[in-house]
Structure 1
Amino acid sequence: MKNNAKRYFSLLFVLILIISTVTACSGNSANNGADKGVSNNKENESTAKDPVEFTDISADIRGNTAPTQEQIDEVNHSLNDTYLGDVFDEVIPNDYSAYPVKGDVVLDVWMPANSNIPDMNNHAVQKQVEQLTGIKVNFITPPIGQEADAFTLMISSGELPDIIIEPGRYPGGFEAGVNDGAYIDLTDLMEKNAPNYTKWRNSDESRRKTTVTDDGKLLGFYGIAPYSEWTWFGTLIKQEALDKTGLEVPNTIDEWHTFLTKAKEVGYKAPLNYGSTYGQIFTGIINGAYGVWDWTFLDENGNVAWGQHSRKLRNI
């Protein structure tokens, strides 16, 4: 795990949890939120305090292969992440003065199941987050494959949880959910109840614009980061393959054809690494140039067919 994992987890998850001050737990669909939420319960409100002043322990922790137990406890049992330093050019707001919150705070969170984490309610990291924030999170996770039906039943019942992960499942999307009274418009609630998130959003105009609707409404918490998204899927060419063919990295389909043909001629059978673990080897990489996306395409008559049956694709 990267050394900034704790900071990101604290930031992104706390951004979700901090909405305990703006989430309704009454079960009334008009007062419940999605991916956001609201509470009229006074004991759930975080009390404003002076900002927590953490001692900078970076010099003692970073690169320390034999930390003391006191230093280990500082890292594992507090929200102090100064030892990470500023890993990006921009400093992410991290005023944790609202934590741990006072009172018995419990949030119900609906979230699709994650096959890698069988039970979020018993996840070790989640238990630590609860200890540090003072907020108990009750995850409601439908069985894998039954998310759509479970979501529909939940919405139709009117008994909504405090937070819904993937609220875009609502028929018509975010705005439809707000217009129907199922979700809450957070536009006027963010500044007071989510100061870190608000400060970060407003620190860049492009960032601010991408988190609001065309009407300027803020309807949920969006994952925003201080860097451009990293490449996470695509075709990787081995440098050895380029050396053997004597060619540059191909950009056009013709250059791809030349490269792959040359690789075959010089006896290099595996010049690429597709970075795919679920079978969609050509998804959006080469076949996109032929009008084929995922496993389907539209022929000249507008009929949908399986992508592998595309005459164009077979003739690449």
Structure 2
Amino acid sequence: MKKRKLMIPLLASMMMLVSGCSDDASTSSKEKNVKKDGKVEELKVFMHASNGYFIFNDDWATFKEAAKKTGIKLKGTAPKSSTNSAEAFNLMIASGEIPDLVHGQKKYLNKYGMEGAFLPLNDLIKKHAPNIQKYVKEKEGFLKANQGPDGKLYMVPYISDGLVAETYFIRQDWLDKLKLQMPQTVDEFYKVLKAFKEQDPNGNGKQDEIPYFSEDNILGLGTLWGAFDGLYLENGEIKYGPYEAKFQTAMENLSKWYKEGLIDPEIFTREKSREYLLGNNLGGASRYYPGSTAGYNDALKDKVPGINFIVMAPPENTEGKRIEPTKRSDFGNNLGVAISAQTENPEKVIKYLDFFYSEEGRRLMNYGIEGETYEIKDGKPVFTDKALKAKDGNIVENLRSYGSQVPFSFHQDFEYEKLWMNPIAVKGIEEYTKGNFFAEQIPNLTFTEEEEKTLTDIGTQITTYKDETVQKWIMGSEPVNLEQFKKRLDEMGFKEYIKVYNAAYKRYQDS
């Protein structure tokens, strides 16, 4: 890390040395990085995300289409053999050869932007990017959520659309068979799960039902007792759920539910829970992403006749509140694209990024190629059969094979999801949106390099200890002891950890 800190402030000097050592020392930056191909210029882009799940592909059809519209085509530079995105990013930075466009996480783009690797974009956007500037003006808080600690914007973010992230699900067909009403409170939910366990709703004569399941997300149930899994906002202060008194009550109840067999005994280790438990007619209720989860009703209709796994509202908790702890961000997903300080024509590059915030560019990134993955009907995009009948029924993966719905710089359109979602998901999302069940969300905060180090060093210890302890508590191998837990967190530096978050939140409010 010391070497990397030294390199970026001296980036220009290093590049002179690199050029001097090359066989092409007299070749200008423009000649090296922008190759002419008729009327289309070539820019280099680094994109390596989710440990290799997203690596820029020169053959992505959406970016080829964008080249026709903008006169700029992209050439990917990220190593396709790497499965470690952080390592690939760091190696790119350390090389001193920064491509024209760099995709990455906000904290790293801000860090190296302040050290000179990337250009501040505020003035470039105002002068040359009307579509991005329109979004900045319309979305109060956009700049605060994405700028660096120095108040400058170093990336054009990828922004999801819609509000709903996760929802509760329950087997309506099991409720009907047992003549039970939809649970409205935490106590009613408990009684329903008990009935699922004891009254054989799958009708096989065995007590093999798994009333509640998830994939290592059991703490999503904590809000049923007013507790949160991690950081949350309350009365203008950031708090850490496992440090608060309500967490003890939540853990005691979840341990009880687990002991009674109401929670998947393999909840901490089971993978692909939906495929296995729904596919074998064993699972009763859960919390998951609504779009993909509702799709199991279609995928399993032949294997599990009558399956009706529907969205249900969050049960009223012990305080009489319906709380959904997750929500999509209005301002970005902490991912975006920065412009290299070495690029020859930053005005042209920002105009290229601005295309993806235009109506035409946004449609391209959301829906793919007109005439192939979508058509316009009554003035709106509609997916073609080719898109909808994707391999394994996964339209999102199909779109990503074209380069659409990859986390580049663009603003998602939630309508694209509605076009392929099971109506159960659409109805559930509308219910959650109308009910406004969402807990107040912590905005995207910006931290100094020193603060990032504190959060990483202390936060890693806290998260590891919390996960290990919670598992022991819920599985009953240790009694719930919040005071002892808090004492250990304090020894790890918890007070400094939470202080950093609240300092960053105050800066956000004051900016």
Report the TM-score, using the length of structure 1 for normalisation. Answer: 0.52
* Secondary structure in structure 2 of the residue aligned to 1:310: helix
Code of the residue aligned with 2:42 in structure 1: it is V
Alignment partner, residue 203 of structure 1: 138
CA 1:206–1:181 in structure 2 vs 1: closer, same or farther (change >3 Å)?
closer
Q: 2:43 aligns with which of 93, 107, 112?
A: 107
Is 1:247 aligned to residue 181 of structure 2? Answer: yes
Alignment partner, residue 9 of structure 1: none
Q: 2:152 aligns with which of 214, 217, 227?
A: 217
Code of the residue aligned with 1:311 in structure 2: it is W
Give distance in 2, aligned partners of 1:229 and 1:307: 32
Q: 1:177 aligns with which of 93, 103, 112?
A: 112
Code of the residue aligned with 1:150 in structure 2: it is A
Alpha-carbon distance, 1:263 to partner? 1.8
Give distance in 1, aligned partners of 2:101 and 2:216: 36
* Secondary structure in structure 2 of the residue aligned to 1:107: strand
Mapping of residues 27-176 of structure 1, within 5 Å: 28=12, 103-112=39-48, 120-142=57-79, 143-168=81-106, 170=108, 174-176=109-111
Alignment partner, residue 308 of structure 2: none
Q: 1:154-201 deviations in whole A, cap 9, x for unaligned?
A: 11111111111114463xxx4321221122211221112221011122
Code of the residue aligned with 1:262 in structure 2: it is A
Structure with the higher fraction of residues in helix conformation: 2
Give distance in 2, aligned partners of 1:180 and 1:141: 22
CA 1:236–1:159 in structure 2 vs 1: closer, same or farther (change >3 Å)?
same
* Secondary structure in structure 2 of the residue aligned to 1:210: helix
Code of the residue aligned with 1:230 in structure 2: it is V
Contact map agreement 1:290 1:313 (CA 8 A) in 2? no
* Secondary structure in structure 2 of the residue aligned to 1:218: coil
CA 1:164–1:239 in structure 2 vs 1: closer, same or farther (change >3 Å)?
same
Q: 1:263 aligns with which of 188, 192, 196?
A: 196
Q: CA RMSD in A?
A: 4.6
Percent identity of paired positions between Structure 1 and Structure 2: 26
CA 1:117–1:160 in structure 2 vs 1: closer, same or farther (change >3 Å)?
closer
CA 1:306–1:214 in structure 2 vs 1: closer, same or farther (change >3 Å)?
same
**Runs of at least 5 residues in structure 2 that lack an aligned partner in the other structure:** 1-10, 16-28, 203-208, 223-228, 230-249, 255-266, 270-459, 481-511
Q: 1:194-248 deviations in whole A, cap 9, x for unaligned?
A: 21011122123244543445654222112346x53333x4542122234335233
Contact map agreement 1:241 1:271 (CA 8 A) in 2? no
Code of the residue aligned with 1:247 in structure 2: it is Q
Report the TM-score, using the length of structure 2 for normalisation. Answer: 0.34
Contact map agreement 2:47 2:56 (CA 8 A) in 1? no
Alignment partner, residue 236 of structure 2: none
Give distance in 2, aligned partners of 1:299 and 1:179: 28
Alpha-carbon distance, 1:138 to partner? 0.6
Contact map agreement 2:42 2:74 (CA 8 A) in 1? yes
CA 1:250–1:166 in structure 2 vs 1: closer, same or farther (change >3 Å)?
farther
Alpha-carbon distance, 1:135 to partner? 1.0
Alpha-carbon distance, 1:283 to partner? 5.3
Give distance in 2, aligned partners of 1:273 and 1:107: 50
Code of the residue aligned with 1:261 in structure 2: it is K
Give distance in 2, aligned partners of 1:106 and 1:290: 56
Code of the residue aligned with 2:78 in structure 1: it is T
Is 1:236 aligned to residue 169 of structure 2? Answer: yes
Give distance in 2, aligned partners of 1:230 and 1:110: 31
CA 1:140–1:290 in structure 2 vs 1: closer, same or farther (change >3 Å)?
farther
CA 1:117–1:158 in structure 2 vs 1: closer, same or farther (change >3 Å)?
closer
Code of the residue aligned with 1:310 in structure 2: it is K
Alpha-carbon distance, 1:106 to partner? 1.6
Is 1:193 aligned to residue 125 of structure 2? Answer: no
Contact map agreement 1:212 1:219 (CA 8 A) in 2? yes
Alignment partner, residue 310 of structure 1: 472
* Secondary structure in structure 2 of the residue aligned to 1:240: helix
Code of the residue aligned with 1:188 in structure 2: it is D
Structure with the higher fraction of residues in strand conformation: 2
Contact map agreement 2:251 2:473 (CA 8 A) in 1? no
CA 1:189–1:271 in structure 2 vs 1: closer, same or farther (change >3 Å)?
same
* Secondary structure in structure 2 of the residue aligned to 1:154: helix
Alpha-carbon distance, 1:132 to partner? 2.5
Alpha-carbon distance, 1:257 to partner? 2.8
Code of the residue aligned with 1:267 in structure 2: it is D
CA 1:214–1:132 in structure 2 vs 1: closer, same or farther (change >3 Å)?
same
* Secondary structure in structure 2 of the residue aligned to 1:131: helix
